[in-house]
């Protein structure tokens, strides 16, 4: 084959192959699928053997714990609207109508007897029965009736209004307005005041701690709460919710952990942060088990390694009557109760428990709970209480 012929064949081949390639390029462009979505491409990458699908825990499997760096916690948490509680002063006046409605049977019973034209022995016995049914107690009832009988006889009271005035004055005396009902929330040597809140489960103890925090915040006090009821997980969660609502820090420990340790850490945190007041919620299991009461005493002793406890508030359900008094006796022996909070007072006609518990413990009622609202914890006032009692 000559050289000229070989060159010609090569040239023909180049033309044919070049045209075919161009045709293939044009056909390839026309048959390309439309651009794919980025999510679809991402899914392919995840499904590729080199990128296995991440493991997701099942419903019964605990997710792995990840510690969030301290400097990221604030930015990672959702913004919480901090509430401004209403001032505590005047709350009992606002709630007076509610208390009057609930306890009106006691007031009506007393006034109906004293309003009679003829107060014979049977009438005075009926008055005693009414007071005893209201859990005033035998001693205070006898004292009140004797004083009233003397006043009615000496002053010659015969009209209902005069009888009502005498009853009001004697009841106020019985409740004792001279008692110091201020809560000791000021510590010494720059340390915070430490308030220990005790009581049996079901009395509204944890709710009282949350409401007390609102009272203190309304007074522009800085507060640290301690969830030392470690045997009831719901208690710590509940207290955390109360704290978040008013921007108060809550110290808690592991479920089932040592309550005394939580009390210690709470007071320590209060000192470190420069808080004005530390309030510790304690376990409220049955007061009849001595081991548990010893544990409560331990919480107080361990907390005082950091700062003295300035107030011990005992929470009592006003509807429990004499059982509440027995609780008061036992708690008083263990932790030296300095004040009482009566809850659920608006749901019963047994308002006389105020008198009975003060006489039994020798300490004043300092707060009363009169409803389900966040700010339904009111400082106790003897005159306001009696006026509500009498309607």
Q: How far apart are CA 89 and CA 91, in angstroms?
A: 6
Please answer whether residues 318 and 353 qualify as being in contact, where contact means their C-beta atoms are separated by less than 8 angstroms.
Answer: yes
pLDDT tens string, the chain, 391 residues long: the values are 555 555 455 554 544 444 444 433 344 434 444 444 434 333 333 333 343 333 333 333 333 333 333 333 333 344 557 887 877 766 766 666 666 655 556 777 787 888 777 778 888 899 898 888 888 889 999 999 999 999 988 998 888 788 889 989 999 999 999 999 999 999 999 999 999 999 888 888 999 999 999 999 999 999 999 999 988 878 999 999 999 999 999 999 988 889 999 999 999 999 999 999 999 999 876 555 667 778 888 999 999 999 999 999 999 988 877 777 888 888 888 888 999 999 887 655 567 888 888 888 889 999 988 778 888 898 888 888 888 777 6
Residue with tokens 């002793």: 301
Q: Is 251 exposed, middle or buried (0-12, 13-18, 19+ CB in 10 A)?
A: buried
Is 3.40.50.300 the CATH classification of the domain at 193-337? yes
Q: What are the tokens at 228?
A: 């030392």
Q: How far apart are CA 328 and CA 354, in angstroms?
A: 12
Task: With residue 343 as reference, give the H or E element that holds it.
Answer: strand 339-343
pLDDT at 289: 62
Q: Is 143 exposed, middle or buried (0-12, 13-18, 19+ CB in 10 A)?
A: middle
Number of other CB atoms surrounding residue 272 within 10 Å: 9
CA atoms within 13 A on the CB side of 292: 17
Q: What are the tokens at 301?
A: 């002793």
Domain segments of the chain as ranges: 193-337
């Amino acid at each position: 084959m000559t050289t000229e012929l070989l060159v010609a064949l090569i040239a023909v081949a180049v033309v044919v192959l070049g045209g075919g390639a161009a045709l293939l390029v044009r056909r390839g462009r026309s048959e390309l699928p439309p651009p794919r979505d980025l999510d679809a491409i991402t899914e392919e990458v995840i499904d590729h053997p080199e990128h296995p699908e991440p493991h997701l825990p099942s419903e019964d499997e605990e997710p792995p714990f990840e510690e969030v760096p301290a400097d990221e916690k604030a930015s990672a948490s959702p913004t919480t609207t901090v509430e401004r509680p209403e001032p505590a002063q005047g709350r009992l006046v606002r709630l007076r109508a509610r208390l009057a409605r609930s306890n009106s049977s006691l007031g009506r019973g007393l006034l109906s007897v004293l309003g009679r034209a003829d107060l014979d022995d049977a009438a005075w016995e009926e008055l005693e029965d009414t007071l005893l049914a209201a859990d005033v107690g035998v001693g205070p009832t006898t004292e009140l009736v004797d004083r009233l009988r003397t006043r009615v006889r000496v002053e010659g009271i015969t009209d209902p209004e005069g009888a009502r005035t005498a009853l009001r004055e004697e009841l106020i005396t019985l409740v004792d307005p001279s008692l110091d009902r201020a809560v000791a929330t000021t510590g010494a040597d720059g340390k915070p005041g430490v308030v220990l809140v005790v009581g049996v489960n079901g009395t509204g103890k944890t709710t009282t701690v949350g409401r007390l925090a609102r009272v203190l915040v309304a007074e522009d006090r800085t507060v640290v709460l301690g969830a030392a009821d470690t045997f009831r997980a719901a208690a710590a969660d509940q207290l955390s919710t109360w704290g978040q609502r008013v921007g108060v820090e809550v110290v808690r420990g592991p479920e089932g952990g040592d309550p005394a340790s939580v009390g210690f850490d709470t007071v320590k945190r209060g000192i470190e942060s420069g808080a004005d007041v530390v309030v510790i919620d304690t376990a409220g299991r049955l007061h009849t088990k001595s081991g548990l009461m010893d544990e409560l005493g331990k919480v107080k002793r361990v907390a005082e390694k950091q700062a003295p406890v300035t107030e011990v508030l005992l929470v009592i359900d006003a509807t429990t009557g004499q059982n509440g008094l027995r609780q008061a006796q036992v708690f008083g022996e263990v932790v030296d109760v300095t004040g009482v909070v009566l809850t659920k007072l608006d749901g019963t006609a047994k308002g006389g428990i105020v008198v009975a518990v003060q006489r039994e413990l020798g300490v004043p009622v300092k707060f009363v709970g009169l409803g389900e609202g966040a700010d339904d914890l009111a400082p106790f006032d003897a005159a306001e209480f009696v006026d509500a009692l009498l309607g």
